[in-house]
Amino acid sequence: MTMTQAQSAEELITLILKYLHQHPNSEDTLEGITEWWVRKQRIDDSRVAVDEALQRLTSLSLISATTRNNITYYKLK
């Protein structure tokens, strides 16, 4: 196993365990876990990271945030 494969396996272990802790009654096949659990967890993690990045950009006054109808829109200042 190469270093990249080991890192990838460690990342997947983390994603799978995170998903299972959030959905303790879940069970699925290899295909289902690959298609749904891992993809969903990556999307959830990406959403958190994007939100943090947007908050930082807003606080640095590099972008602006406007809320309309309870939805926030971001754009360059």
pLDDT for 5: 64
71 pLDDT more than 80: yes
> Would you state the structure tokens that stand for residue 31, as one six-digit string?
């295909």
Query: Is 80 exceeded by the pLDDT of residue 3?
Result: no
Amino acid at 51: D
pLDDT tens for 10-64 read 989 999 999 999 999 999 999 999 999 999 888 988 999 999 999 999 999 999 9
- Per DSSP, the three-state class of 28 is coil
Length of the chain: 77
Q: Are 68 and 52 in contact (CB under 8 A)?
A: no
Whether residue 4 is predicted with pLDDT greater than 80 in this model: the reply is no
> How many helices and strands, by DSSP H and E, does the chain display?
3, 2
Map out the domains of the chain as residue ranges: 1-52
How would you classify the pairing of strands 63-68 and 71-76? antiparallel
